[in-house]
Structures are given as structure tokens and as C-alpha cells.
Structure 1
Amino acid sequence: MEGDQGHHFLMLLCIASPKGDGMGTFNRTRVTEFIFLGLTNNWMLEILFFNAFSVTYVLILLGNMLIVITIIFTPRLHTPMYFFLSNLSFIDICHSSVTVPKMLKDLLSERKTIPFDNCIAQLFFLHLFACAEIFLLTIMAYDRYAAICTPLHYPNVMNMRVCLELVFAFWIGATVHSLVQTFLTIRLPYCGPNIINSYFCDVPPVIKLACTDTYLTGVLIVSNSGTISLTCFLALVTSYMVILVSLRKKSAKGRRKALSTCSAHFMVVALFFGPCIFIYTRPDTSFSMDKVISVFYTVVTPLLNPLIYTLRNEEVKSAMKQLRTWKEKEPR
């Protein structure tokens, strides 16, 4: 805020803070930017990380866009499973794009800063796409359960209308979750330290910088994020356990196909939910390996998803080959 009224209002916020220090609080102003400590202070490692993550980000974009394009232009892949897979690839592109470009820029910068408003925007979209992926992976598990355990009813249970309704529902749910997280963060006064021990803005490291007691806010945030992560993870595990039990009645060929699909899904679930549960179920606690865990679910997992779903899926690989052949035969 630039006006006198806004300045006085923010000073009052700081004065009211339990963490204030008497008259010294009058010299504090509202934080206008945050400073990232980044992944490392070693410039040689920063150059190494920049090269590695640049290649990784390009592969994330190319790999996930290839899956989306292949599914769109291959009629036989217009099924619920591949419809959800194309949505997963789209979310992975968005999820990685929230943090990776800024991280790459900061790896080449001596001073790693982000304006307050941009930090809040990054936080909002990070939780939006992460929560959307959690809900989508849960829906994909239910889709596999319906296809394997109730194959006769599957066309009615999971038709395209239902798929669209589920996609609309999980985007609404993800938006509500992200708005709650953002509101709980911006309602706090920030008038003291502005150094974030990370390479992106997330709720846990940001609220630690608030000049007030954040214990209750931390509990509310963990209750929100932790409950969603744990509930969806338990639902996923339950779905896959039921599927495994039902496979005993299938033929050997049917078991192999179902296990191949479900194992790919479960690998993605473990790679994504593990870091999320580790980070968002610990109120007001941080570990030295948090940055490594964060890199894993913001950079590595979006890269592994297309590899897992293409290298282990003959239908997708076949469709990609046909698409490439069709493209080569197309008259120029």
C-alpha cells in the first residue's frame, strides 16, 4: 500500500502482533517482496541444476503434450481412462509451470526475490493444480475399479457425461481448497522477516514469516491439506486392494493387462502422494530434506508420469507410432 491510510493500517497490524517488540514495531512496514534462499548457495551447483532442470522441464512439456495430442487424435483412445490420462498430462504441465520457470530464473540470479502478490498467486496455483491432481488420481482409481470389478455396468457407470461431470467437480473442489489455503495465508500480517527457505512460495514456509502467532492457522492448514491427501490416498489404496482381490477370478491374460494398468497408476500415486503427505501433515515443522521432497513432486513426478504411462502402455505407444506414420505420409 502506498497511501498514508494504507501505511497506517499496516503499521497497526504490526503493532497488534504478539510477536511485536514494543516501540521497535513502529519501524516495521508491510513486506512487499520475499527472498528465496533457493536450492543451494554454490554457483557451480546452481549452473548444474539449471542445465538439469531446463532439460527436465522441456521433457515435461514435450512428453505431456505428446500424450494429450495422441489421445485427442486417436479415436480408439476416446475412452474414460485415456480421457482422464489426458487431463492428468494437462495438470502436470500446469503444475510444473507454476514453479519451474521461476526456479530456473533464480538459479541464474544472485538475488532471488518475488513480489508479495506474485508469491500469493504462485501459492494459489500450486495448490490448485496439486489438489486437482490428487482428486484426478482418485477418480482414475475408481475408473479402474469400475472397469475391472463391474465390467458389465462400466459403460453406464463411466460414460462421457459422467467423466465431464467428474472433471468439473474436481476442478471446483480444487479451487475451493486453494482459496481456503490462500485466505488462511493472506489474512496474516507480514511486517518482519521476508526470507523463505525454499525456491517457491508455499503455505508452510510463508506463514512462518507472519508477525503473529500462526499455530491455529497451521493446524487449520494441515487439517485441510492433510485430510484431503490422506483421505484420497486411503481411498486409492482401498480401490487397488479390491481390484487385486477381484483379479483372482480373471483369466491370465486379463490379470496381466489389469495389473499392468493398475501398477502404472499406483506408481504415479506413490510418487505424488508420498511427498504431499510428508510435507502437508506436519504443522509448524520443517526438515532439511523438505527441498528435495519438493523438487520431487514439482519437477520429477510430472516428468515420470508420461514415461510411466507410455513405456508401460502398448495402446498409447501404438497410437503414437500410427500418429507419426500418418504425419509422415501427409502431403506437404
Structure 2
Amino acid sequence: MGYKVALVGATGNVGREMLNILDERKFPADEVVALASRRSVGTEVSYGDKTLKVKALENYDFSDTDICLMSAGGAVSKEWSPKIGAAGAVVIDNSSTWRMDPDVPLVVPEVNADAVAGFTKKHIIANPNCSTAQLVVALKPLHDKAVIKRVVVATYQSVSGAGKDAMDELFAQTKAVYTASELVTKKFPKRIAFNVIPEIDVFMEDGYTKEEWKMMMETKKILDPKIKLTATCVRVPVFIGHSEAVTIEFEKPITADEARGILRNAPGCLVIDKHEPGGYVTPYESAGEDATYISRIREDATVENGLQLWCVSDNLRKGAALNAIQIAECLINRKLISAKQKAA
């Protein structure tokens, strides 16, 4: 018997990607239900060769639902995830609401799959921030080998991380530049077309942005609380795919060749690192792919036991939708949940 899956936020970028990935991976679902707010009721979304009509979250009965993929933002998750969990479904939440809750596992299956077993406390599992997910996939095998002390990250994050309106704004502004039309800025604090913006999420008292704070705190929770990490997160005029320039300081010696070999054999990683023009991956190539791509691996002579690398991934997939579905697969494969008996 297959599982019943509810998807909250089915009309958004990540929600639609979740539907695609459920179909691509032949997820063992007998039924998939698309949910959103009342204003989206009746909207049609694609699930493989099927078309689903969106239903209203507000009056949906979750009593026979096994898994709920939550991708509707923090406010919705804060209100609804505990209710859905109390009804017996396991909620896999894509917002930041539950990530730092000590009773909620924060999971990247290639890194800390064992943590999924902790879902029983609240029936909620948190998906990490998109920029964190790809980073820890790359860091984990290297940490196992040489123990990471400190990480310095500069991100180059695509506009899709800020939603469909952000993608529309980049498109409209780019068109406006070429046609000498009025350039309208709504979603971002400054124009994004032909520009970069060193501000993602709100500023905090210490001068870091919330996005940077998320990377610091989530990496510690997922990988190791002893790791020191500092980040500068930058929005760039790219539609899909986050890139990161990563500097790592280790406790033990590790060469670039050793790191290359370790990462080639690591789950979720794909090394493309040729020392020639174009011998690396850019966000354009990562779009629509599942892997975390790693390029430009080299030794950092400015610190003892230092490495530098370039890390790229599709933020809508590994950074959000794919990771959530991998968590659901983990629950099933480890026999931590079973499908409820549905009414005839």
C-alpha cells in the first residue's frame, strides 16, 4: 500500500518542483493532494501526466495523510505544522520556522540521515536553508577526513531563492535595460539586473543578515557545533542555481588531490575540476540537476591545512524540493513510518 502525500504551497516555485520530483523519483504515493490558500483553489498544477486541482488548506482533513510537504512560508508553517503533526502526518517543512527548534530534526540525508528518527517529538522535520544544504553536502566528507575548524563562505545566490516575483523582477528589469524603459524595483532593495546585492533577508544587530546567520547556525546543528563559520550572502542576477566560494581550515592536513578523491566518492557530490578554461560548473549547468557540483579545489597557502573550493547546486532542487523528498524517502526506507489504512 502506498502513501498519501499532501503538499502545502503547491502553486509556488518549490511546490511545483516537489510535484515534478515526486513523479521523477517514482515516490511510493497512492495519492498526492495539492493544497494552498483559498485564493488558489481550483488552480491546476502538474504531477507527472496528471493534473491536480488545488484545494484549500484551511478546511482540509489530514487524518488519513501520511506525509505533508510544507512549502508555504514561515507564518503558515508556524500555524499549521503542529496541527498537521497532531493529526498524525509527518510534516517536512521548507521554511525557517522549525530549523533551530531542539525538538525538530534539521536534516540533509547525505549528511545526518540518522537524525530523522527524532521526528516523533513534534512530527515535524525541518529542511535547511538552500545555501546551507549544498554547503554541508560538500563539507561532510571532508570533515570526516580532516576535521573542519573554520569555514568562510561567500555566496552568489539566484533570484529564485526569493520566489517567483523575484524571478519576474529580474526578467522585467533586464528587458527594461535593453528597451530603455522604466526600471521598477519592488522585490529587492536595489535593482538586480546587471547588479549584485549583498543583502539577503533582514539585517541583524551584529551586522550580519538573517541568511548569513542561518548558514552559521544550521551548519553547526547539522554537521558539528564546534565548526566556526562566517558568511557573506549575495544575490546575483541568475534565475536558478546558487554558487558558493568556500574557504576551509582543517585540524589535520589534507591535500587538494585527497579532497578531490574523497568528494568524488561522496554521496550527492559531483566533482568537475579541470584546470583549463571552462573546467568547472556554473549555476546555468546545475539548473534541473540533483547533484552538488564541486570545482576549483585547491590548497590555501595562507593558513595551515587550508583548502578552497567552488560549490554549485540547483537551489529549488537540492536546496529545497529534492532534499524534502529525500527526507520522506529516508523515513520510508528506515521503516520509521507506515502508510495509514485508508477508508474504503
Q: So what's the TM-score if we normalise by structure 2?
A: 0.28
- Structure with the higher fraction of residues in helix conformation: 1
Q: So what's the TM-score if we normalise by structure 1?
A: 0.29
Indicate the structure (1 or 2) with the bigger Cα radius of gyration. Answer: 1
